[in-house]
A = this chain, B = another copy of it.
Amino acid sequence: MNLISVFEIVGTVAFAVSGCMVGIKKDMDLFGAIVLAVTTAVGGGVFRDILIGIHPPAFFMNPYFATISIITAVIVFVFYDKLNRLNNIIQISDAIGLGAFATIGCSVAIKNNFTSPFIVVSLGLFTGVGGGILRDVFAQEIPFVFKKEIYAVACIIGGVSFVISRNYLGNDVALYTGCFVTFIVRMIAIKRNLQLPKAGKRLKQEGLTK
């Protein structure tokens, strides 16, 4: 088992935790919380596979990641009240997972002979953020990734790093570069509380927005 696989498992657990916690906050029952955990953890990959025509999506051929997500969700469900103190660990794990998911998405594109940088970076982005978008749609929230902090942007920068380093240094180095860059950008954004700009200042001053 290589390091990226370890990161992928860390990410699966972190994404499942975030899905389950959102489900619990939204008053879902055990089944809903499990579905939200699984959706967050594997939704991005399933969407990527649908786009490039992998039928059925890899997720269904191997219940490995579903199993991890379900077990994670049950544990979160039982120990929910004690999880708040783990906030830091969850954020770091989430950033590791984001890096692993984004670069795995890029590398699935390459393996399926889609080598245009636009597709490679797009599939990395979808794999990284697709699950979280689905989680928020199901939980009746505007997707987190559209509103706050440098999250998707970290995937895009990581994807671009993957493409560039793959050109010069080969696939293996590219995987670690993409993963590492995504992780670092995300962690810096969290530490410095970096945000993308928002528009419509005048509108806001006049109090016309919701």
Residues of A within 8 A of B (CB): 23-33, 35-36, 46, 50-53, 55-57, 60-61, 63, 66, 76-78, 80-81, 114, 116, 118-119, 122, 133, 137-143, 145-148, 152-153, 195-203, 209-210
Contacts and interface: CB of A to CB of B under 8 A. Distances in A.
Given A36-B146, A138-B137, A143-B138, A197 B81 contact: no
Nearest to A48: B56
A199 B55 contact: no
Identify whether the interface residues of A are mostly helix, strand, loop, or mixed.
helix
B140 A141 contact: yes
A60 B56 contact: no
A52 to B, nearest CB: 5
29 contacts: A24-B198, A24-B199, A24-B200, A24-B203, A25-B210, A27-B147, A28-B142, A28-B198, A29-B147, A29-B195, A31-B153, A32-B143, A32-B145, A35-B146, A35-B152, A46-B51, A51-B56, A51-B60, A53-B53, A53-B55, A53-B56, A60-B114, A60-B116, A60-B119, A66-B118, A76-B199, A77-B199, A80-B203, A137-B137
